[in-house]
Amino acid sequence: MMLRMLFDKLFTGSAAGSVGLLCLLLIVVLGPMVWRGMGAVVFRETVEFRKMQHAIFGRGSQAEILRETEQVDGLRKPIYDTFDSFAQGIDVDKQLDRVREIYREYGDSLRQRNTPADEFTQLRSTAKTIRDRLTEALETVDQSEAISLTLQVLEMEINFAGEPQLAEFFEIARRYKKTVEGIDPGHRQEYAELLREVRDAMNTLFGPRPDQPKPPLAEHQFGATRWDLVQRDVRFLLYDEQWVQETPGQPLQKKLIPRKQQFAGTELEGWFDQIELDLKSLFRPRLRIYWQYFFDDSTPGHFFGGVGPEILGTLLLTLLAMVVAIPLGIISAAYLVEYGGDTFIIRIIRTCINTLAGVPSIVFGLFGLAFFVILFGRPCILAAAMTLALLVLPVIIRASEEAIRAVPSTYKEASLSLGAGRFRTFMTVILPAAMPGILTGIILSLSRAAGETAPILFTGAVFLGPMPRSLLDSTRALPYGVHGIATGDKVGMTMPHQQYGMVMALIVLVLLLNFLAIGIRWRVSKKLRGY
């Protein structure tokens, strides 16, 4: 007796432990995905996010957005000015062209003023001297010679105080002198390469400058819209990622080289530290609960916006598939149990159903491509939903069959003895009693239909596209969106919160559908028990 009680307790404890372990595994697997996916809804937004929301979705006060944009642009202007000043000293080709252009414009100006011939010749000759010396300063790779030539140009500025057309000559000389004092002109090409990297990092971090034309793609129209993206992108501005071989024969190792070291001795050396120090002022992060994520459309590439069309498409495909699969599954199970008997043909049919339940989903997708897509003339919602229906049909049939068999035979015998026919007995007695078990199979099928990618890959899902207007149009769906970002779109690396947000939305959607089905099953079970 004691031994049996001990075994009973061990069995009960093992069952409870198995359930607890299953719940723990579920939390371990789903927890990180949901947690990271919540980053698409709850995060610290930047001023770039607020600009994006107003520009794309019309949210926020226009006056407030403009005021904040002007304030931030005012803070960013010294950053751009310092960078431009140094960059202009490096890009000597552009400055050489400008120097020659200034000389030509000055000659045209003298002619338009009808300057006397002697004065014209003298001024033109002096301007030519300035041009030549400034050109030599820009072209030489000797630092001391470049400084000496620019000083000679600046000494002549007093002779042209009344000539505003030549003021840019001396401005270029001053700027280049300041630049060349901190660099070796022989390494201008190396600095030019580094400046291109810095400029690209600035465009990613801050977005297009106010004086630049608006890029056509939404992904290029705004800077970092989230504080976590700011912290990630600023690293590429402050550090140069290089792969170096520290030990001969060993694999390359990634090292972050501070860019201020690369620009040591130049006016940009302290520029990087200033950006890092003023980062919050430049972006003004605030806590944001972006509940519109579940309803908003997305921009091309899923850089901005939400997953509203994907959620609607997933619901449409799932519910339409279940509308087709549930009646067919229950009718098939009823025939196999109540009318088919145990003949050789029925056993073959059951074997085929069990085999179909284990067929990989991609096979169903290829069948849908070969049959339903041809039947409807194109990939569409109907083709995808019918393919999903075939995918979950074996599970519904087997679950319904077992649920019908589990109904006590006395229920059927009592109904038949009261004069009811077999069909009426099944519809009014057996089916209601089997409904909780059938709903269990439907719940399992619902989860699978909502989360499958392969069956809809070729039959009706698209990564980007307009909202469908009929069942013969393609639609977006959460599983296909996650697949598209992970395998073929750069958002997976540049906007990871979008990918995890889709995963989180899919998990939440499946859980809600399951809870709905479980609630229906509970009400049916309660009604059968007479409560």
Partners of 256 in beta bridges: 241
Model pLDDT, residue 491: 62
Report how far residue 460's alpha carbon sits from residue 317's, in angstroms, rounded to the nearest whole number: 9
**21 domain residue, yes or no:** no
191 & 277 share domain: yes
**26 domain residue, yes or no:** no
473 & 381 share domain: yes
Buried b (16+ CB within 10 A) or exposed e, 220-258: ebbbbbbbebbeebbebbbbbeeeeeeeeeeeeeeeeee
Report how far residue 125's alpha carbon sits from residue 522's, in angstroms, rounded to the nearest whole number: 99
Give the range of the structural domain holding residue 395, as residue numbers without chain letter: 308-528
Quick one: tokens of 520? 């229906």
**Phi, psi of 239, deg, nearest 5:** -130, 145
Q: Are residues 337 and 405 in contact, defined by beta-carbon separation less than 8 angstroms?
A: yes
Q: Which positions ≥6 away from 151 have C-beta within 8 Å?
A: 177
Please give the distance of CA 216 from its chain centroid, rounded to a whole number: 18
Boundary (domain end) residue, out of 160, 183, 206: 183
Spans in the chain with pLDDT lower than 50: none
**472 domain residue, yes or no:** yes
Model pLDDT, residue 493: 66
Q: Are residues 495 and 302 in contact, defined by beta-carbon separation less than 8 angstroms?
A: yes
* Residue whose tokens read 């170096």: 244
* Residue whose tokens read 């050489």: 96
Residue 44: its H or E element: strand 42-45
**Phi, psi of 244, deg, nearest 5:** -125, 155
**Phi, psi of 341, deg, nearest 5:** 75, -155
The candidate with the shortest Cα–Cα distance to 83, out of 209, 186, 189, is: 209
243 & 378 share domain: no
Domain count of the fold of the chain: 3
117 & 137 share domain: yes
Boundary (domain end) residue, out of 154, 183, 212: 183
267 & 314 share domain: no
The CATH number given to whatever domain includes residue 316 is: 1.10.3720.10
**440 domain residue, yes or no:** yes
Q: What is the pLDDT of residues 487-501, one digit of tens each?
A: 765 666 677 888 888
Q: Beta strands 42-45 and 286-289: pairing type?
A: antiparallel
* DSSP code, position 475: B
To 10 degrees, the CA torsion angle through 523, 527, 529, 530? 140
Boundary (domain end) residue, out of 183, 202, 229: 183
Quickly list DSSP for 391-448: HHHHHHHHHHHHHHHTS-HHHHHHHHHTT--HHHHIIIIIHHHHHHHHHHHHHHHHHH
This prediction has a pTM of 0.81
Please give the distance of CA 61 from its chain centroid, rounded to a whole number: 26
Q: Are residues 372 and 459 in contact, defined by beta-carbon separation less than 8 angstroms?
A: yes
Q: Report the alpha-carbon angle 449-496-259, nearest 5.
A: 165
